Structure 1
Amino acid sequence: MGKTKKYLAYAMGEIMLVVVGILIALQVNNWNEERKNENRKQRYLQSLVMDLENDLDEIDSLMNSAVLDTTRLGNLRKRISSPNAKLDTLIHIYRYELNPIITDAAKFKTTTFEAIEASGDINLFSAETIEKLTILNKLQQAHLDFSLQDLSQYKRSINVVIKKYPSPMYSGSMKIHSPMSQKVWNSIEAADFISDLNGLIIVKYLSNQLYLQRSEEIKKYTEKLLQELQKKSEAD
């Protein structure tokens, strides 16, 4: 009987050791998994911070270009409206001073966010952070969509004018000093040309204004989110 008790006690001890060993192994595995997740989260945070910093640089650069272009357009509008403006002045503006290029939408860095979503690692972040990243992504997409719409509208406006009045500023236009080009300019209706030029400047001016408003909204949101992610990266 005594030997049986000793055997049972020994067996229970062995079982307890096995159970404790399993629990320790599970805990160590959990710690390792948490450490891997935290390391992966940190890499994502650092990558997101870099993406947002690049986005801000891109936004600032494009906004500066749009501001300069808007200023030039404002000056052209003043010259066109001046009491001293002549038809030759307007023709020179159209031929050599009116830049046809419109500011492009920012090429946002979305690779990291898309990778986080696709891999399911989005759950490594808090619900609040996920929501803010999603909102930014939607703002970026909306900005791109609106910019493409504005560009399409501007192209329609400028194509109408280009077909009527050749200029070296526009790709594909006939040479400015060619006989056919001179024939076009010698036969233009002044009122139509003035109206077309003014309309073209207005369309581009308003497109720039809308572009700057949308860009400013995204810039502010990006700056705020960047600060939050930088704090999380430093704190963790």
Structure 2
Amino acid sequence: MSKLFRKIRQNLLSEGKTSKYLKYAIGEIALVVIGILIALQINNWNENRKQENSKQHLMLAIKKELATNKEHIEDYLKELNKSNANFNKVLLYSIGKDSFPVDSLRYYLSNMEYPRLLSLLSSVREGAINSGKFELLSDSLKQSLSMLKDYTDSRKSINNISNEIVNSGFDFKVDRLLNSLYLVPEVPSNLALHSPIPKHPDFILNDADLITLVKDPETYLLLDKI
């Protein structure tokens, strides 16, 4: 194509048709400019399509990660609510506002333990930030994900504070109390990986001693602050 244009220009110059040559040259430039613009537009379309594909893949990955986190949160809340309910049962029993068989008391005591630290996934979000793909998302979605990160960081800070309290001198008394109450849930024999380690008889409270310990005012105060 460029050879054809060059030949036309040479013919116009040899014929002395300067005005026609200038018009042709300008027209040729215009065609080239239009061609470049079209090429750029096509390139923009391709880039936009690539970005849109990347955005869709990222959003699907985020959705999957959030769905998994939602399940973890729901399971954690179920365990937490169960532990709180058992705690309340024991506290009410301690102050004489509830009554049930000692076997039930032992069950509630062995199921007061709070669930382990909630663990939430964040690899997709962090990967998007590190790769720059985070900017493909809408402002509202980026803001929501940033808020989620702030909440997660706050939860970690609260957990760190709780750990400091657990390691304090006061909670050594709580630890001794929990050991006395033997707050270790029994694992069914068909699920146990190893034979249970027998507890020393001196550390096993009989029914009467257990009831006395639970109804002790200091026990109530310690359990109420856990």
Report the TM range for the smaller structure's normalisation: 0.5 to 0.7
Which structure would you say has the larger Rg? Answer: 2
**Aligned match of 1:133 in 131, 140, 145?**
145
Structure 2 vs 1, CA of residues 135 and 151 (structure 1 numbering), >3 Å: closer, same or farther? same
Contact 1:94 1:197 in 2 (8 A): no
Following superposition, the deviation at residue 122 of structure 1 comes to: 2.6
Structure 2 unpaired stretches of 5+: 1-14, 185-196, 205-211
Question: Residues of 1 paired with 2:77 and 2:107: CA distance?
Answer: 25
Measured against aligned partners, the alpha-carbon deviations of 1:162-214 in whole angstroms (never above 9, x if no partner) come to 447556546xxx964355x47xxxxxxx789934432342123xxxxxxxxxx
Question: Residues of 2 paired with 1:114 and 1:84: CA distance?
Answer: 49
Question: Residues of 2 paired with 1:178 and 1:77: CA distance?
Answer: 26
Q: Is 1:31 the counterpart of 2:52 in the alignment? A: no
Structure 1 unpaired stretches of 5+: 183-189, 205-236
Contact 2:113 2:183 in 1 (8 A): no
The farther-off stretch of 42-51 and 141-150 is 141-150
Partner of 2:216: 194
TM-score by length of 1: 0.65
The farther-off stretch of 134-143 and 93-102 is 93-102
Contact 2:94 2:214 in 1 (8 A): no
Question: Residues of 1 paired with 2:107 and 2:80: CA distance?
Answer: 21
**Aligned match of 2:66 in 49, 52, 71?**
52
Please tell me the root mean square deviation across aligned C-alpha atoms, in Å: 3.7
Question: Residues of 2 paired with 1:167 and 1:77: CA distance?
Answer: 13
**Aligned match of 1:159 in 172, 175, 179?**
172
Question: Residues of 1 paired with 2:180 and 2:213: CA distance?
Answer: 17
Indicate the structure with greater helix content: 1
Percent identical across equivalent pairs?
A: 24
TM-score by length of 2: 0.67
The number of aligned residues is: 193
Question: 1:1-236 to 2 correspondence within 5 Å?
Answer: 2-82=16-96, 97-99=109-111, 101-154=113-166, 156=168, 157-163=170-176, 166=180, 168-169=182-183, 176-178=199-201, 181=203, 194-204=216-226
